[in-house]
């Protein structure tokens, strides 16, 4: 009997040791692989660890750490004194410009996967310089934001900036309800754990978003909480801008997963109606992508964030919109 117990114990310890070695090996292999070929989920994980800091305000969720730098998706994302992907900004330097635009939004505005020189705001700055206009465009994009988050972050942290114009790059998922999530020690420190967690969540999302059209229709139902919150926050922002004599713009950015046929036009119609009803200056970017193969404007084959070329297309028409 004692011999059987000892054998069982040895086998059990051997299995545990083997599993431990296997997990360590998987972790090592994944880290080596991801150092050579960036993985989208791991890059987002690194972004959260290195550049994000949790906000005390639940309506904001998180902000950027100030004066930090990280290589993500093979490009540098460097934050300034205000936690923006931009140069040092204060009211003294803004006095050098006739118009100053703060562009709010999420990862598209941030320029995820795009070199700093090719982001929307920097391409707008180049166009302005080429036209000898004393205008400045400030990058206020933060990844994983919705309307409630970028509005409240601006009001709490950046509303002391003496800007002339505030523009929102509105995206189709900006009415989603986002909640702060607690993560485990493994998720915080392991590539392998992140990959497994993402796989499990992708299966869950597949069932939840089986029909992407229906999913987005739900996000824009008149009584959907996220849609109501988005509208309430935009109205709050417009009132703030009116009090400070700031021009307030909504620029509608389409989802470039699938452009032809584009199935989310009903969102453009709803946002345009809302914007005009509440006296926002409104512009729709959908038309500039007519006839373009969407894959040519993606960052890469598994990341449909717009690339530098797409940011350039956007910058040219947005600049003309501001001129007029």
Q: Give the range of the structural domain holding residue 13, as residue numbers without chain letter.
A: 1-37
Other CB atoms within 10 Å distance of the CB of residue 214: 10
pTM above 0.85? yes
Q: Are residues 112 and 257 in the same domain?
A: yes
Q: Are residues 22 and 132 in the same domain?
A: no
Q: Are residues 221 and 147 in the same domain?
A: yes
Identify the pLDDT of residue 30. 55
Q: Are residues 24 and 50 in the same domain?
A: no
Q: Are residues 1 and 111 in the same domain?
A: no
Q: Are residues 18 and 164 in the same domain?
A: no
Identify the pLDDT of residue 203. 47
In sequence order, the 6+-apart residues with CB closer than 8 A to the CB of 9 are none
Q: Are residues 253 and 108 in the same domain?
A: yes
Q: What are phi and psi of 133, to 5 degrees?
A: -95, 135
- C-alpha distances (whole Å) from 224 to each of 175, 235, 292, 299 are 9, 17, 33, 32
Residue 255 is given by DSSP the state: P
CATH of the domain at 294: 3.40.50.1110
Identify the pLDDT of residue 40. 73
Identify the pLDDT of residue 54. 95
Identify the pLDDT of residue 161. 98
For residue 64, how far is the Cα from the chain centroid? 12
Q: Are residues 75 and 15 in the same domain?
A: no
Q: DSSP for 302-319?
A: TEEEE-HHHHHHHHHHHH
* Burial group, residue 279, by CB count within 10 angstroms (0-12, 13-18, 19+): exposed
Strand partners, 102: 138, 166
Identify the pLDDT of residue 41. 76
Identify the pLDDT of residue 15. 59
Distance CA 125, CA 321 (A): 15
Q: DSSP for 26-55?
A: HHHHHHHHHHHS--HHHHHHHHHHHHEEE-
Q: Which residues of the chain have pLDDT under 70?
A: 1-37, 181-211
pLDDT single digits (tens) 282-319: 999 999 999 999 999 999 877 889 999 999 999 999 99
Contact 150, 88 (CB under 8 A): no
Identify the pLDDT of residue 23. 57
How many domains does the chain divide into?
A: 2
Q: Are residues 177 and 218 in the same domain?
A: yes
Q: Are strands 62-64 and 52-54 parallel, antiparallel or unpaired?
A: antiparallel
């Amino acid at each position: 009997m004692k011999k059987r117990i000892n054998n069982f114990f040895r086998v059990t310890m051997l299995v545990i040791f083997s599993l431990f070695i296997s997990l360590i090996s998987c972790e090592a292999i994944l880290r080596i692989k991801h150092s050579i070929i960036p993985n989208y989920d791991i890059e987002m994980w690194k972004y959260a660890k290195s550049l994000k800091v949790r906000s005390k305000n639940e309506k904001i969720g998180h902000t950027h750490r100030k004066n930090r730098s990280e290589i993500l998706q093979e490009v540098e994302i460097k934050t300034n004194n205000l936690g923006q992907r931009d140069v040092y900004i204060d009211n003294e330097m803004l006095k050098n410009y006739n118009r100053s635009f703060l562009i709010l939004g999420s990862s598209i505005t941030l320029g995820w996967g795009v070199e700093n020189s090719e982001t929307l705001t920097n391409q707008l700055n180049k166009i302005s310089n080429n036209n000898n206009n004393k205008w400045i465009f400030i990058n206020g994009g933060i990844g994983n934001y919705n309307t409630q988050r970028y509005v409240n972050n601006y009001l709490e942290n950046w509303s002391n900036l003496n800007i002339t114009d505030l523009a929102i790059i509105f995206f189709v998922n900006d009415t989603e309800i986002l909640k702060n999530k607690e993560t485990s020690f493994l998720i915080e420190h392991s590539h392998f754990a992140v990959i497994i967690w993402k796989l499990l969540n992708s299966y869950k999302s597949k069932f939840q978003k089986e029909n992407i059209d229906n999913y987005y229709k739900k996000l824009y139902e008149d009584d959907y909480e996220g849609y109501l919150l988005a509208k309430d926050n935009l109205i709050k922002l417009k009132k703030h801008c009116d009090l400070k004599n700031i021009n307030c713009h909504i620029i509608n950015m389409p989802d470039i997963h699938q452009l032809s046929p584009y199935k989310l036009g009903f969102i453009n119609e709803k946002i345009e109606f809302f914007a005009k009803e509440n006296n926002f200056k409104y512009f729709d970017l959908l038309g500039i992508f007519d006839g373009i193969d969407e894959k040519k404007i993606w960052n890469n084959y598994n990341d449909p964030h717009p690339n530098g070329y797409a940011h350039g297309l956007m910058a040219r028409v947005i600049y003309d919109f501001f001129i007029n």
